[in-house]
């Protein structure tokens, strides 16, 4: 059955609520006036810049002196004056200085042991009012906080890449996160001009748990013989800001692989490990930041062509090429995301469908025309969705409808309102 994309002229019953207010930038929170950011990579710099733009002072740290000095210089250059820079931004590797901030945000490598070690070393220096947060994209917050004396002061603050362009701040409540910590995190998000969405603790949370099957399916399709340009065009024509392969390069193949591994391990019956990502990672091809991943990038930062190395790896492993229609490619990319979203709803990780659509619209640029992923499903109707899933059921559980989806189809009810 052909896939209907976002061409409807009317909105689902609840789409208007997507525009409900986020506080305007510049509103200062009651508690968060200073922030320490641990990790001076792409995400750490982006998080630091978001704070500086609102006049929140930042201490940034990194184990690499070169990365730290480069981050401070870059952040200073974007401030209005040297006087303002001296007041707002500093680099340090001193634990006591980092611990003196109202909020300490970790944006280090995606490894549980590393994150636990960072917070264990800092906790003894912090005041009772200081809050801890991790920008982890996949590791459950409860696991990171497990060895802390005060896990109630720990929360997930998942900024989406690129930080300056993505309004979402996914706030993850661990099993022991206190109401006061959660409230402070929400107000902090609003002070940055971000859209807070509070979610339950689970590998990948909401954004990356749903993004992973979409990105992974693109690599599966490559190995089934689909062409680069066909996959990317299907996603962009659907309304995504860029194709999934370009998105992986932007995120970083190393980051996508580490986060994906956490999610694959948690849900092995539905998530497929990507040997293609692993092969590129082992070559040291991490995407945009190394100028080569699925694409080769020029000095202007734009992809110039598919990477010959990636193409060679794909050619060694792919099945015999066959034609793929745009409708098939669209269904393959977005249906696994939808079935996983229904499981997120079933597990109670969000308060309702609006949270899922907010997370995807504001976190990854999912097309808003139908209100987001569940808005798209509501527009098509659940019976149509089940008909679209049926031809792909031999591919595995990721293409199997949930019981709730079956009930909605049987009842003739496709509304998430």
What are the pLDDT digits (tens) for 90-131?
999 999 999 999 999 999 999 999 999 999 999 999 988 899
Q: Do domains 207-317 and 325-411 have the same CATH topology?
A: yes
Q: Residues in the chain, how many?
A: 417
Residue 65 scores a pLDDT above 90:
yes
Query: Higher model confidence: residue 139 or residue 301?
Result: 139
Sequence ranges of the domains in the chain? 28-193, 207-317, 325-411
Residue located via tokens 């950011």: 37
* Domain 325-411: assigned CATH number: 1.10.1040.50
Q: What is the pLDDT of residues 293-309, one digit of tens each?
A: 999 999 888 888 999 99
Angle between the N-to-C axes of helices 373-380 and 326-346, in degrees from 0 to 180, rounded to the nearest 10: 110
Cα radius of gyration rounded to whole Å, the chain: 22
Residue located via tokens 């603050």: 157
How do 195-200 and 168-173 pair as beta strands?
parallel
Active site annotation includes 158: yes
3-state secondary structure of 325: coil
Instruction: Return the DSSP state at 12.
Output: -
Provide mean pLDDT across the span 299-325: 91
Residue 34 scores a pLDDT above 70:
yes
Q: Which helix (H) or strand (E) holds 31?
A: none
Q: Mean pLDDT over all residues of the chain?
A: 90
Residue 3 scores a pLDDT above 60:
no
* Domain 207-317: assigned CATH number: 1.10.1040.50
Partner residues linked to 104 by β-bridges:
36, 132
What sign does the CA torsion over 370, 371, 372, 374 have?
negative
Cβ pair 234, 326 in contact under 8 A? yes
Residue 22 scores a pLDDT above 70:
no
Confidence bin at 83 (pLDDT 50/70/90): low
Taking the complete model, does pTM exceed 0.85, yes or no?
yes
> What pLDDT, on the 0 to 100 scale, is given for residue 5?
37
> What pLDDT, on the 0 to 100 scale, is given for residue 45?
97
Residue located via tokens 């019981």: 403
The CA distance from 221 to 211, in Å, is 16
Q: What is the pLDDT of residues 198-245, one digit of tens each?
A: 999 999 999 999 999 999 999 999 999 999 999 999 999 999 999 999
Q: Which CATH number fits domain 28-193: 2.40.128.260, 3.40.50.720, 3.90.180.10, 3.40.50.2300?
A: 3.40.50.720
The CA distance from 345 to 355, in Å, is 10
3-state secondary structure of 89: strand
Q: How many angstroms separate the first and last alpha carbons of the chain?
A: 26
Residue 14 scores a pLDDT above 60:
no
Provide mean pLDDT across the span 174-190: 97
Confidence bin at 322 (pLDDT 50/70/90): confident
Residue located via tokens 């949370």: 205
Catalytic residue, from 31, 158, 332, 379: name it. Answer: 158
> What pLDDT, on the 0 to 100 scale, is given for residue 81?
75
Cβ pair 159, 185 in contact under 8 A? no
Provide mean pLDDT across the span 255-284: 93
Percent of the chain with pLDDT over 70: 92
Query: Higher model confidence: residue 369 or residue 188?
Result: 188
> What pLDDT, on the 0 to 100 scale, is given for residue 334?
98
Q: What is the pLDDT of residues 330-387, one digit of tens each?
A: 999 999 999 999 999 999 999 999 999 999 999 999 999 888 999 999 999 999 999 9
3-state secondary structure of 364: helix
């Amino acid at each position: 059955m052909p896939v209907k994309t976002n061409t409807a002229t009317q909105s689902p019953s609840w789409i208007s609520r997507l525009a409900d207010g986020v506080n305007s930038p510049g509103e200062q929170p009651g508690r968060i006036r200073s922030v320490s950011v641990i990790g001076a990579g792409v995400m750490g710099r982006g998080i630091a810049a978001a704070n500086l733009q609102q006049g929140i002072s930042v201490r940034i740290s990194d184990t690499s002196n070169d990365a730290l000095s480069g981050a401070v210089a870059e952040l200073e250059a974007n401030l209005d004056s040297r006087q303002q820079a001296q007041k707002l931004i500093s680099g340090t590797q001193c634990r006591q200085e980092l611990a003196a901030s109202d909020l300490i945000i970790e944006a280090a490598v995606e490894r549980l042991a590393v994150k636990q070690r960072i917070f264990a070393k800092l906790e003894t220096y912090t005041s009772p009012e200081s809050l801890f947060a991790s920008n982890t994209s996949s590791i459950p917050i409860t696991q990171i906080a497990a060895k802390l004396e005060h896990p109630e002061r720990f929360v997930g603050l998942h900024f989406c890449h690129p930080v300056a362009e993505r309004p979402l701040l996914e706030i993850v409540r661990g099993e022991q996160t206190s109401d006061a910590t959660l409230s402070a995190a929400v107000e902090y998000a609003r002070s940055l001009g971000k859209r807070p969405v509070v979610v339950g603790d689970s590998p990948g949370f909401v954004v990356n748990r749903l993004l992973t099957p979409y990105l992974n399916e693109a690599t599966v399709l490559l190995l089934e013989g689909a062409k680069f340009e066909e996959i990317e065009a299907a996603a962009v024509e659907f309304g995504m800001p860029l194709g999934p392969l370009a998105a992986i390069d932007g995120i970083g193949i190393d980051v996508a692989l580490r986060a994906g591994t956490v999610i694959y391990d948690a849900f092995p019956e539905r998530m497929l490990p990507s040997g293609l990502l692993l092969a590129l990672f082992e070559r040291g091809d991490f995407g945009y930041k190394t100028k080569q991943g699925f694409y080769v990038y020029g000095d202007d930062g734009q992809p110039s062509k598919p990477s010959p190395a990636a193409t060679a790896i794909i050619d060694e492993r792919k099945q015999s090429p066959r034609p793929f229609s745009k409708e098939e490619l669209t269904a393959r990319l977005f249906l696994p995301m939808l079935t996983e979203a229904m499981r997120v709803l079933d597990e109670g990780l969000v308060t309702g469908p609006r949270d899922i659509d907010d997370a995807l619209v504001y976190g990854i640029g999912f097309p808003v025309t139908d209100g987001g992923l569940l808005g798209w499903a509501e527009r098509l109707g659940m019976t149509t969705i089940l008909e679209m899933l049926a031809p792909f059921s031999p591919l595995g559980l990721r293409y199997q409808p949930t019981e709730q989806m079956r009930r909605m189809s049987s009842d003739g009810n496709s509304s998430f309102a």
